[in-house]
Amino acid sequence: MNVFFKAPGLASPPAGVSRRTILRAMGGVGIGLVIGADLSLSGGAAQAAETATADINPFVRIAPDGTVTVIIKHLDLGQGTTTGLTTLVAEEMDADWAQMRTDFAPNDASRYGNKIFGGAQGTGGSTAIAASFDVYRKAGASARAMLVAAAAKAMNVPARTITVAGGKLTSGSKTLTFGEVAEAAAKEPMPQDPPLKASRDFALVGKDKLPRTDNVLKTTGKAIYTQDIKLPGMLVAVVAHPPRFGARVAKVDDAAAKAVKGVEGVVTVPQGVAVLARSTYAAMKGRDALNVEWDEAAAEKRGTDALRAEYKAALGKKGTTAETEGQVEAAFAQQGVKIVEADFEFPFLAHAPMEPMNCVVQITGDKVEIWNASQFPAIDTPTAAAVAGTTPDKVKINGLWAGGSFGRRASSTADYVAEAVAIAKAHGKGVPVKLVWTREDDMKAGSYRPMYMHRVKAAVDASGKPVAWKHHVVGQSLITGTAFEGAMVKDGVDATSVEGAAEMGYAIPNRLVELTSTKVGVPVLWWRSVGHTHTAYAVETMIDQLAKAAGRDPVAFRMELIKDPRLKAVLALAAEKADWGKPLEKGRFRGVAAHKSFNTYVAEIAEITMLDKGYKVDRVVAAVDCGVVVNPDVVRAQVEGGVGFGLGHAMQAAITLTDGAVDQANFDTFEPLRMSQMPNVEVHIVPSTEAPTGIGEPGVPPIAPAVANALFAATGKPMLNLPFNRQTIGS
Amino acid sequence: MPITLSINGQARTVEAEPDTPLLWVLRDELDLVGTKFGCGQALCGACTVHVDGMAVRSCQTAVGDIGESKVVTIEGIGSREAKAVQAAWQDLNVVQCGYCQSGQIMSAVALLTDNKKPTDSDIDSAMDGNVCRCATYHRIRAAIHDAARRLEA
Ligand code: FES
Ligand code: FES
């Protein structure tokens, strides 16, 4: 174990901010950010210059002042991973919460890979805690063991006499702090299998008392995002992208753009035409002054109407079998069965995280340095290397806070990173370049949740038991043509297109799930909860239609059909907490949905009030089982946020195309949920000792069908097209 | 042309065209990056600052129009209301990605400075212009009520 002595200025910053990040954001030495930012930070940096910080292991660093910095290997896009992973280390080290700090890991899969992704470095699929629970506990436990070993030598006592609590090592009357023995501890051998605490001994994990590590930074404007990076000599690039996907630059007249004050250059890259300027506003003005002719020969020119007609036709043909059980056609042909059929339509959706995509790149010789809230360093690193014409080991990515993602920063093609590198390379002056997408650029850039259509045909027998379910999904594959194809597409079936419909949670003896993957020139990408965004909707609203056909209560109907006891338990808990079955006042209705995704179980019950025109969602009661909970308040927050995120899109958001061009541009036409539309959300957690599973996404899938089922209860009409505002609701 | 602005209680002179949005002067010229860019069209509230105490979208405010007015950003707030809002936000763990939260806090502080005991519908009208894509609305509402209680004390 080597001790790594930090260069001057790398003292431990407040939780969540990398010192390097701050210094670079300040322009190295700059007066820049220091004014108006926290002056004490720069003072602290100067003082810490003479002292050493010890790297105990790849995840734990201890400074002489006793601060423990946890190296976070997953992108924190708001889901609270930084808080969760820090909790695990503090728990096993017996540290004091106040001494904990965080920093983001660089791109280095050998130390920071994700075991669920086969060791590739990245964040997604709600895997951060699931994949790293043991990794961070072990890192904390081994750091503790090394501190104890070093303290035993320093105090000249046997190691077994030492107790650790609150960041202090005590033996009899002797006490040392973590900071005092850190340097010596780093030289101790690293234990291979350090003993971990039994869960009954947890003092922090699962306890409702730790504040988020990023609370102060994010309420004072001090958290640094990619958008906030400023480097000496940096230029800002704003790009004219083609109006249709697949179009190319044919001819550029950049005279007017170059005449804009502050513009330093105009370059053409495969993605479009970039204007580089000394300020963001000058770059935007320069971009507006460009005159570009586009070659649209290879462009996608179909609009939403044309796709709808093609998808509808595909629904009538046979798809590729994704899952089959029993004899579905024979079951439909039985005497006395009641058949329910429905076609569903789901629109393209933009991720539209609050921070539009951006990326800072500096190319120096064969080296590429990137500042980016990178969600998939495993994709961003080789892509940047290929575009720059160098090797991946020459690419360094500096991590930052992400202003949301919902999957967008986990681009399977590293699209915006590749664009930023291409611009820096084409400009060729070696200065840092910050690519900035405006909201309009971000919304029109594609990488959408694909448009899908589903056809579901299901039957209940005379006793009201579902006997057959046939489900056909039509839409683009997220995976085909990406680096993930080999692992995730089997026999022509992209598992992410049918997950949630295949392996459904209900015991129905005869089932067939089919998939038709379409070829459309619109880039698509996973979007918070991936395939479950549409499959859970079709399944859960269809179950309510079947319950109605069988004359049954939707909760009781589900309880009899659900196979997995954990799904049953969340449904029972939500029903109890929501007073399911107790009559509501006139004009108010309930709807329910329960769904497992990313190995986490969530049930949600929505209460709505029907208005003269439309409806309002008043209250949502959720129950969740995600195994062992590291931080209950973070779990609640993710479910609350998942409910709001899912609800806004279900109610009113869609990306549509006219002759291939995207109709929406900003938040006036792609309408996000707003404060006045947010229901009251209550989240109940099922206590569990199972292995921890994800929480960033599983709150999303049940909300749209729960509200749709409440509307179905109110109007008697199933909601088949999303978003709901495509239909007139209410009188 | 040189333009002098009052920012967080200090006179700051910047070189900018008068049509430049205040947002970009704050971020690019004055390095006050706590004020965020979200939409550029007064549709999301991420860029909210106070101009003479009023919550204003800096992305649609030209620097040439500000004159003598006093601009305060997230970096410069310090009133009783601001402290109550920040404390409530921290106690209730409101933030997720955090990118909208400077704007949310600036709107909430302006609301509470004006109205010591806002109702739910006051909160709806004051805060509907501030988008949170992480949908932390439910906690923002609770935190505003909590801050109002702190101010009573
Ligand atoms: S950036 Fe100003 S309101 Fe969105
Ligand atoms: S906290 Fe992420 S947008 Fe509000």
- For residue A649, give the 3-state DSSP assignment: helix
pLDDT at A392: 96
pLDDT at A300: 98
Any ligand 1 atom below 6 A from CB of B44: yes
Query: Chain B: residue nearest A235 by CA?
Result: B28
What confidence tens digit (pLDDT) does each residue in A144-165 have? 999 999 999 999 999 999 999 9
Domain co-membership, A467 together with A560 = yes
- For residue A491, the distance in angstroms to the closest alpha carbon of chain B comes to 37
Mutate to test the pocket of ligand 1, among B51, B56, B57, B131 (most ligand atoms within 8 A of CB): B57
What confidence tens digit (pLDDT) does each residue in B24-53 have? 999 999 999 999 999 999 999 999 999 999
pLDDT at A485: 86
Domain co-membership, B13 together with B36 = yes
Nearest residue, CB atoms, A672 vs list B125, B133, B140: B133
Domain co-membership, A489 together with A542 = yes
Please answer whether residues A433 and A361 qualify as being in contact, where contact means their C-beta atoms are separated by less than 8 angstroms: yes
Nearest residue, CB atoms, B133 vs list A223, A352, A681: A352
Which alpha helices (H) appear in A457-584, and where do they start and end?
485-488, 495-498, 532-550, 554-561, 565-577
Please answer whether residues A405 and A416 qualify as being in contact, where contact means their C-beta atoms are separated by less than 8 angstroms: no
Query: Chain A: residue nearest B121 by CA?
Result: A676
pLDDT band at A110 (very low <50, low <70, confident <90, very high): confident
Please answer whether residues A606 and A620 qualify as being in contact, where contact means their C-beta atoms are separated by less than 8 angstroms: yes
Nearest residue, CB atoms, A36 vs list B8, B41, B94: B8
Domain co-membership, A115 together with A236 = no
Question: Is the per-residue pLDDT at A43 higher than 60?
Answer: no
Domain co-membership, B66 together with B90 = no
Last residue of a domain, one of A165, A186, A219: A219
Domain co-membership, B17 together with B72 = yes
Name which residue leads in pLDDT, A516 or A109.
A516
pLDDT band at A75 (very low <50, low <70, confident <90, very high): confident
- For residue B71, the distance in angstroms to the closest alpha carbon of chain A comes to 13
Domain co-membership, A425 together with A487 = no
Least Cα distance to A476 among A593, A314, A235 occurs for A314
Please answer whether residues A552 and A461 qualify as being in contact, where contact means their C-beta atoms are separated by less than 8 angstroms: no
Domain co-membership, A522 together with A568 = yes
Q: ipTM surpassing 0.95, yes or no?
A: yes
CA of A78 to the centre of ligand 2 (A): 7
pLDDT at A730: 67
Question: Is the per-residue pLDDT at A40 higher than 70?
Answer: no
Q: Is residue A441 part of a domain?
A: no
Domain co-membership, B21 together with B53 = yes
What confidence tens digit (pLDDT) does each residue in A682-691 have? 999 999 999 9
Name which residue leads in pLDDT, A55 or A24.
A55
pLDDT band at A487 (very low <50, low <70, confident <90, very high): confident
Terminal C-alpha separation, chain A: 72
Report DSSP letters for A409-443, one per residue: TS-TT-HHHHHHHHHHHHH-S---EEEE--HHHHH
Domain co-membership, B70 together with B84 = no
* Chain B interface, best mutation among A229, A276, A281, by max B CB count within 10 A: A281
pLDDT band at A122 (very low <50, low <70, confident <90, very high): confident
Domain co-membership, B6 together with B72 = yes
Domain co-membership, B99 together with B56 = no
Q: Is residue A323 part of a domain?
A: yes
Please answer whether residues A137 and A147 qualify as being in contact, where contact means their C-beta atoms are separated by less than 8 angstroms: no
Percent of chain B clearing pLDDT 70 (strictly above): 100
Please answer whether residues A61 and A68 qualify as being in contact, where contact means their C-beta atoms are separated by less than 8 angstroms: yes
Q: What is the dihedral of CA A87, A88, A91, A95, to 10 degrees?
A: -60
Domain co-membership, B71 together with B11 = yes
Q: In what order do the strands lie in the sheet with A510-518?
A: A320-325, A510-518, A466-476, A452-460, A338-346
Task: Report which residue type is found at A450.
Answer: P
Question: Is the per-residue pLDDT at A5 higher than 80?
Answer: no
Smallest-distance ligand from the CA of A78: 2
Domain co-membership, B105 together with B121 = yes
CATH number of the domain bearing residue A312:
3.30.365.10
Domain co-membership, A152 together with A287 = no
Q: Is residue A68 part of a domain?
A: yes
Number of domains in chain B: 2
Last residue of a domain, one of A172, A190, A219: A219
Q: Determine, for residues A648 and B21 on separate chains, whether the beta-carbon distance falls below 8 Å.
A: no
Domain co-membership, A409 together with A461 = no
Domain co-membership, A168 together with A36 = yes
What confidence tens digit (pLDDT) does each residue in A407-454 have? 999 998 999 999 999 999 999 999 999 999 999 999 999 999 999 999
Helices (H) and strands (E) in chain A, counts: 21, 29
pLDDT at A36: 22
pLDDT at B48: 98
Please tell me the pTM assigned to this model.
Answer: 0.92
What confidence tens digit (pLDDT) does each residue in B51-93 have? 999 999 999 999 999 999 999 999 999 999 999 999 999 999 9
Q: Where are the beta strands (DSSP E) in A279-357?
A: 291-295, 320-325, 338-346
Domain co-membership, A36 together with A153 = yes
Minimum mean pLDDT among A97-106, A359-368, B29-38: which range? A97-106
Smallest-distance ligand from the CA of B104: 2
Per DSSP bridges, beta strands A452-460 and A466-476 are antiparallel
- For residue B153, the distance in angstroms to the closest alpha carbon of chain A comes to 22
The dihedral through the CA atoms of A662, A293, A359, A133 has a sign that is: positive
pLDDT at A570: 98
What confidence tens digit (pLDDT) does each residue in A672-722 have? 999 999 999 999 999 999 999 989 999 999 999 999 999 999 999 999 999
Name which residue leads in pLDDT, A485 or A610.
A610
Any ligand 1 atom below 6 A from CB of B14: no
Any ligand 1 atom below 6 A from CB of B129: no
Question: Is the per-residue pLDDT at A611 higher than 60?
Answer: yes
Please answer whether residues A713 and A589 qualify as being in contact, where contact means their C-beta atoms are separated by less than 8 angstroms: yes
Name which residue leads in pLDDT, A457 or A108.
A457
Domain co-membership, B68 together with B116 = no
Ligand 1, atom 3: nearest CA belongs to which residue?
A: B42
pLDDT at A472: 98
pLDDT band at A731 (very low <50, low <70, confident <90, very high): low
Domain co-membership, A134 together with A238 = no
Domain co-membership, A604 together with A644 = yes
Q: Is residue A13 part of a domain?
A: no
Q: What is the mean pLDDT of chain A?
A: 90
CATH number of the domain bearing residue B141:
1.10.150.120
Question: Is the per-residue pLDDT at A15 higher than 50?
Answer: no
Q: Determine, for residues B30 and A35 on separate chains, whether the beta-carbon distance falls below 8 Å.
A: yes
Mean predicted confidence (pLDDT) in A295-318: 98
CA of B134 to the centre of ligand 2 (A): 4
Q: Is residue A410 part of a domain?
A: yes
Q: Is residue A10 part of a domain?
A: no
pLDDT band at A224 (very low <50, low <70, confident <90, very high): very high
Domain co-membership, B55 together with B110 = no
Last residue of a domain, one of A196, A219, A242: A219
Q: In what order do the strands lie in the sheet with A60-62?
A: A54-57, A60-62, A68-72, A100-104
pLDDT at A517: 97
Percent of chain A clearing pLDDT 90 (strictly above): 82
Q: Is residue A8 part of a domain?
A: no
The dihedral through the CA atoms of A275, A280, A286, A292 has a sign that is: positive
Number of domains in chain A: 3
CA distance A708 to A535: 14
What does each C-alpha distance from A304 to A67, A449, A498, A665, B112 come to in angstroms?
55, 14, 22, 16, 45
Question: A626 lies in which domain range?
Answer: 304-348+448-726
Question: B59 lies in which domain range?
Answer: 2-76
* Chain B interface, best mutation among A21, A83, A354, by max B CB count within 10 A: A354
Nearest residue, CB atoms, A678 vs list B8, B27, B138: B138
Domain co-membership, B132 together with B108 = yes
Q: Is residue A610 part of a domain?
A: yes
Question: Is the per-residue pLDDT at A57 higher than 70?
Answer: yes
Domain co-membership, A534 together with A682 = yes
pLDDT at B139: 98
Mutate to test the pocket of ligand 1, among B27, B33, B35, B44 (most ligand atoms within 8 A of CB): B44
For B91, the token pair is 């106690």
CATH number of the domain bearing residue B25:
3.10.20.30
Question: Is the per-residue pLDDT at A63 higher than 80?
Answer: yes
